Structure 1
Amino acid sequence: MESTSKAWPVYSDQRSAKGLHFPRMTTAEALARSLIRYGIDTIYALPGLQSDPLFDAFYRESASLRVIHPRHEQTAAYMALGAALATGKPQVCSVVPGPGFLNASAALLTAFSMNAPVIAIVGQIPQSDIDRGYGHLHELHDQLGIADHFSKFTMRVTHPQQAPSAIAEAVAKATSGRQGPVVLECSMDVLAQTAPVDLDVPGYPLVSYPIDRDAVNRAAALLATARRPLIIVGGGAQDAGPQIAALAELIEAPVAGYRRGTGVIPSDHRLSVRLPVSHRLWAEADVVIGIGTRLHMQQSMWGVSDDLKVIRIDIDPSEPNRFRKADIALVGDAALHASALVEQLSALAVTPSSRAAELAAHNAWLAGKLDELQPQVGFLKAIRAALPADGIFVDEVTQVGFVSRLAFPVNGPRTFLSPGYQDNLGWGVGTALGVKAALRDRAVVSIAGDGGFLYQVSELATAVKHDLPVVFVVFDNRMFGNVKRIQQERYGNRVIAADLQSPDFVQLAEAFGVLGLRAENPDALEQAVRSGFESGRPTLVHVPCGTMPSPWPLILMPKVRG
């Protein structure tokens, strides 16, 4: 059963009268100090009138708290998202209300779709005037109501003494159960209010579920008789790689991760398969284990049938019943449940047949198909050769990005970052900067098309200002390639709003103080990426290219069951 109990601290000025003396501080100071107590050391933020007391508090705590200020609110939230995805830890952004909040909302929506623990502290007009329609600067009606649509939890902080518990609850909500973004709102006048504040408040318990041993035993019994098991992993399995690998090896189950599930087990593991191969395996599987994944593509597009048994492992109790009710649902932590299955299966002395020959044939077929996707595969091999083994690759909505989801070799979890089902153009630059800010010792490469890159091109200034040496690779075909292909193939070549005018990207980079390089083939790209890493500077590599072959037949694959 989910643990939801929580102890609410008692706050009132009367506590001081009873001999409990706490230091007086502003709400803003209480928020800043509470963040530090939870290990937050970086705020991705843009200042403004409604947030002035908060930024003054950040300044006062600058020995423990750094502020990275980008050039746009959307980037502040994307940077927090990138840092959260790469570290698995909560990250904080802060923006002004109204337009600042709405600018950040696309990134918060992306965090919601990716189950990322991002905490947004959003300013507000004077508290007594909220939703009265007076026309204050940045006034937005029902700001928290809007946030409810793409956040896991929202709260308005109304008093200094509430701030520590608000941060405690925000961290707990963001990081436990099915993780997700949290929005805290605080009015400009409340931020400046002072009162005695007790920072040492009880933490909120994380959501946890005990292992259902009966369900584990039933799942193990089903797997023990499976002849063609298959494991599908998603973002919820990112921290369960060793346990899932052990389970896969015990029952000879191929493991397929696509996008958010990429890297749960390394690409070179003998049982690791990519999306097109898992489509083939899905057609003949008798038992499928979905771990930390919605199984959306598989169940809604590939189809299900009565002879396919589905086991779901998910921290969200509502997830196993989407599309089709799972035959067995294991609700809780992926690593713990995978380990429990290994323990039970080991006791059953399972002796499965090797899948080596079968997988070799499937992988050879896929290699032949990928060889047809040139120059994308060649460019990806070049980047992989230049990127250190523990380097982090940030995918984008671009022709090379689509193929990367099928072909880019990944060595471990949280090293391949791909936007969730929002799949929003332009997410990559800010996300990559957040990754680099959080993991200074790791190499970070961000790919984009010329269309998506220009969404956040101004953040090259942020990379220089804050010394964030990301290598940005821009594939420039002077079009929204996917849009144009669809218009050509489905709409009688009636092309509209798809062709683009691009700048000279090398000169543009140099104008920002970024190292600008050009590469016109894979060999030159590998050398340029290496040079960017060796320089220790933010680097833009411009790759002129033309129309590329479509990867979609290997992504949007037909129904094979039911």
Structure 2
Amino acid sequence: MGGRRTTGQALVDGLLAHGVDTVFGLPGVQTYALFDALGERSAEITLVGARHEQACAYMALGYAQSSGRPGVCTVVPGPGVLNAAAGLLTAAGTGTPVVCLTSDVPTAYAGRGMGHLHEMPDQLATLRSFVKWAETIRHPAQAPGLLAEAFARAASGRPGPVVLAAPWDVLGAAAEVPAPRVQPPDPPPPVDEAAVRAAADLLAAARNPMIMIGSGARHAGAEVRALAALLGAPVVAQRGDRGVLRDDDPYAFTGAAGFAHWAGTDVLLMLGTRGELTWFRWPVRSPGPRLVSIDIDPRQHVWRDPAVAVTADARDAAAALVGLLRDRSSSGRDARGRPVGDRDGPEATMVELRPSRAAEFAAVKSRFQADVASRLRPHADYLAAIRAALPEDGYFVEEISQVGFASLFAFPVYAPRHFVTAGHQGTLGFGFPTALGVKAAHRDRPVVSVTGDGGFLFGAAELATAVQYGLGVVTVVFDNGAYGNVKADQDRLFGREAGSVLRNPDFVALARAFGADGARAESPGDLGAVLATALSTGRPTVIHVPMPLDPAVTPWTYLTPAVDR
């Protein structure tokens, strides 16, 4: 738009130029000018208010992680942006682009330590310690350019959170400003031909390769599937990468099921992942498999000491690998370069590097799933009921809880971005408010949030937000009256609990007090029926599921085999 605008108006102009349709925010005196500008353009951009700043950031996280578009939130400075920090840190951990707009003390008071409202000693330095980028607008004319840079930074390389602040006085100041502009993200680095050729050589010669993917490979499903077939390799996904390959694909393994192949793996391709399983969950092998590391962030190669490192976008590098490996197969030679027979015509291009392992892998997965179904009760039964009621295009948001942990390997996922997660941060209480952001991005799709009784009460006040803004998330609260895994650990390690047993409200009555629907399910069969009804209404709903506090049922049994088996 340009012309004479306040900083707040210029920022909203810029948000619209970037295609932003929703902002999650909680107003305060320092951000009045921004919220008034949002109100002025309310026909073009939706403002979803929240009851806590942490929820603003989590909702932006859910919006972005499920849609692939940047999520935007706005909070007051100082304690407000620190409240939002848990969500921003989770965005950093999950590679999720979130843009946070905040304020700061008036320019005349900056750095003077006079105790101005919400003053921090150095807010910018604090934010820069855990977000990708943070900057301050000092004049309205800077707003369009800095906002464009914020969006570009959030989406470049490994995506993540950024923060843009405007001091109290600057946010409401008016001046001539340039028209908004959009700055594209930095292009990914080109694929190094020599490095990817070395990777192809190593993988082609492997006896038992494994592919481990992360959220950096969400957009590379076709290439990952082609690699799996060419190499005869299981594809292991742990959290935000679930659904890159459909779970009913024989080559798709969860982080727990994939452990069966770890001992025999001689070459590991890590594609857009930090590889937590290999150095934290699974036993460290010495010598370990030879490693091919493909990541857009070159820092990930440093600690891995890979045999081959490729700094590139996961899809670009995977496509290059597929091309090189297909060239080998079309030449009529197997993984070790040996002739596989004389073939002529088009069928020669269909020669694989090694025989299909689909039947073998399907059998391994079937045995693992039967083990889960028999040993992990009632958790697996409840997750099966949810999967049966939730359409394939619905969204599932996990939580730090026993059922949430179990969902990492006991809940089938059929498309990328449909399993929303806190990643390695493991931020307790993130699930319900994050699910509201997912619903804001996909109002025509069902969204189910699973949570424990402890985690749900971190953000239960956002039931008011769900009702006010028509965010029809169905939240299933599994209530065992404790921080279940914590209590189990305390009992096992120390013979007593301390601070892990909870006194809970009547969750059905709580939901109804906010104007949401509430229901109770006593069994997996009950849950399936109640959930189907709740999803059909499109209303915010809490389903209370009483659970036994059983220390023998711990999903970590499958995720830390070195410790628990």
- TM-score bin (small chain): over 0.9
In 1: Cα distance, 2:128 partner to 2:55 partner: 21
In 2: Cα distance, 1:357 partner to 1:63 partner: 55
Structure 1 pair 29–504 and aligned structure 2 pair: CA distance change class (3 A): same
Shift of 1:231: 0.5
Q: Which of 458, 463, 468 in structure 1 is aligned with 2:466?
A: 463
Shift of 1:351: 2.4
In 2: Cα distance, 1:136 partner to 1:214 partner: 57
Q: Indicate whether 1:309 and 2:313 are aligned.
A: no
Aligned 1:169-208 pairs, distance under 5 A: 169-201=149-181, 203=183, 205-208=185-188
Q: Which moved more, 1:164-173 or 1:546-555?
A: 546-555
Shift of 1:366: 1.5
Q: Which of 543, 548, 553 in structure 2 is aligned with 1:541?
A: 543
Structure 1 pair 482–559 and aligned structure 2 pair: CA distance change class (3 A): closer
- For 1:429, the aligned partner's letter is F
Deviation string for 1:54-111 (max 9, x for gaps)?
1111111212111100111110110000001001111110000111111111111111
1:440 aligned residue: 443
1:18 aligned residue: none
2:364 aligned residue: 362
1:4 aligned residue: none
Q: Which moved more, 1:302-311 or 1:121-130?
A: 302-311
Identical columns (%): 45
2:561 aligned residue: 557
Deviation string for 1:389-419 (max 9, x for gaps)?
1111000011111111111000010011121
Structure 1 pair 378–204 and aligned structure 2 pair: CA distance change class (3 A): closer
- For 1:509, the aligned partner's letter is A
SS of the residue 1:455 aligns to: coil
Q: Is the 8 A contact 1:314 1:334 kept in 2?
A: yes
- For 2:116, the aligned partner's letter is H
Q: Is the 8 A contact 1:125 1:188 kept in 2?
A: yes
1:504 aligned residue: 506
In 1: Cα distance, 2:431 partner to 2:185 partner: 34
Structure 1 pair 200–437 and aligned structure 2 pair: CA distance change class (3 A): closer
In 1: Cα distance, 2:422 partner to 2:32 partner: 32
Deviation string for 1:247-289 (max 9, x for gaps)?
1112111101011221111100111112233222121111111
Q: Indicate whether 1:519 and 2:521 are aligned.
A: yes
2:345 aligned residue: none
Q: Is the 8 A contact 2:291 2:308 kept in 1?
A: yes
Q: Which moved more, 1:384-393 or 1:327-336?
A: 327-336
SS of the residue 1:139 aligns to: coil
In 1: Cα distance, 2:425 partner to 2:288 partner: 32
1:210 aligned residue: 190
In 2: Cα distance, 1:135 partner to 1:389 partner: 53
- For 1:321, the aligned partner's letter is V
In 1: Cα distance, 2:184 partner to 2:393 partner: 34
Q: Which of 118, 121, 127 in structure 1 is aligned with 2:107?
A: 127
2:125 aligned residue: 145
2:230 aligned residue: 250
Q: Is the 8 A contact 2:90 2:423 kept in 1?
A: yes
In 2: Cα distance, 1:499 partner to 1:182 partner: 37
Aligned 1:392-403 pairs, distance under 5 A: 392-403=395-406
Shift of 1:203: 2.0
In 1: Cα distance, 2:380 partner to 2:182 partner: 52
Q: Is the 8 A contact 2:210 2:265 kept in 1?
A: yes
Shift of 1:388: 0.6
Q: Is the 8 A contact 2:466 2:472 kept in 1?
A: yes
SS of the residue 2:43 aligns to: coil
Shift of 1:205: 4.6
In 2: Cα distance, 1:386 partner to 1:196 partner: 55
1:33 aligned residue: 13
SS of the residue 1:283 aligns to: coil
Q: Which of 198, 210, 229 in structure 2 is aligned with 1:230?
A: 210
2:391 aligned residue: 388
Q: Is the 8 A contact 1:236 1:334 kept in 2?
A: yes
In 2: Cα distance, 1:95 partner to 1:307 partner: 46
Deviation string for 1:282-332 (max 9, x for gaps)?
21111111111111330354324446211111110111222x311111111
- For 1:486, the aligned partner's letter is D
Q: Which moved more, 1:118-127 or 1:271-280?
A: 271-280
- For 2:302, the aligned partner's letter is N
Structure 1 pair 327–22 and aligned structure 2 pair: CA distance change class (3 A): same
1:12 aligned residue: none
In 1: Cα distance, 2:522 partner to 2:432 partner: 22
Q: Is the 8 A contact 1:153 1:173 kept in 2?
A: yes
Q: Indicate whether 1:165 and 2:145 are aligned.
A: yes
Give TM-score, length-normalised by structure 1.
0.93
Q: Is the 8 A contact 1:303 1:559 kept in 2?
A: no
**Number of corresponding residues:** 538
Structure 1 pair 480–37 and aligned structure 2 pair: CA distance change class (3 A): same
Give TM-score, length-normalised by structure 2.
0.93
Q: Which of 402, 410, 420 in structure 2 is aligned with 1:407?
A: 410
Q: Which of 448, 452, 456 in structure 1 is aligned with 2:455?
A: 452
SS of the residue 2:129 aligns to: helix
In 2: Cα distance, 1:176 partner to 1:326 partner: 24
Gaps of 5+ in 1: 1-20
Shift of 1:225: 1.7
Gaps of 5+ in 2: 330-351
SS of the residue 1:39 aligns to: coil
Aligned 1:315-394 pairs, distance under 5 A: 315-322=296-303, 324-349=304-329, 350-370=352-372, 371-394=374-397
- For 1:110, the aligned partner's letter is T
Deviation string for 1:211-255 (max 9, x for gaps)?
111111111122222221110111111111111111111211110
In 1: Cα distance, 2:401 partner to 2:120 partner: 34
1:17 aligned residue: none
Q: Which of 63, 66, 69 in structure 2 is aligned with 1:83?
A: 63
In 1: Cα distance, 2:510 partner to 2:283 partner: 45
Q: Is the 8 A contact 2:272 2:314 kept in 1?
A: yes
Deviation string for 1:101-125 (max 9, x for gaps)?
1111111111111111001001111
- For 1:546, the aligned partner's letter is P
Shift of 1:423: 0.4
Q: Is the 8 A contact 1:279 1:302 kept in 2?
A: no
Deviation string for 1:120-143 (max 9, x for gaps)?
001111012112111112112211
Q: Indicate whether 1:65 and 2:45 are aligned.
A: yes
SS of the residue 2:458 aligns to: helix
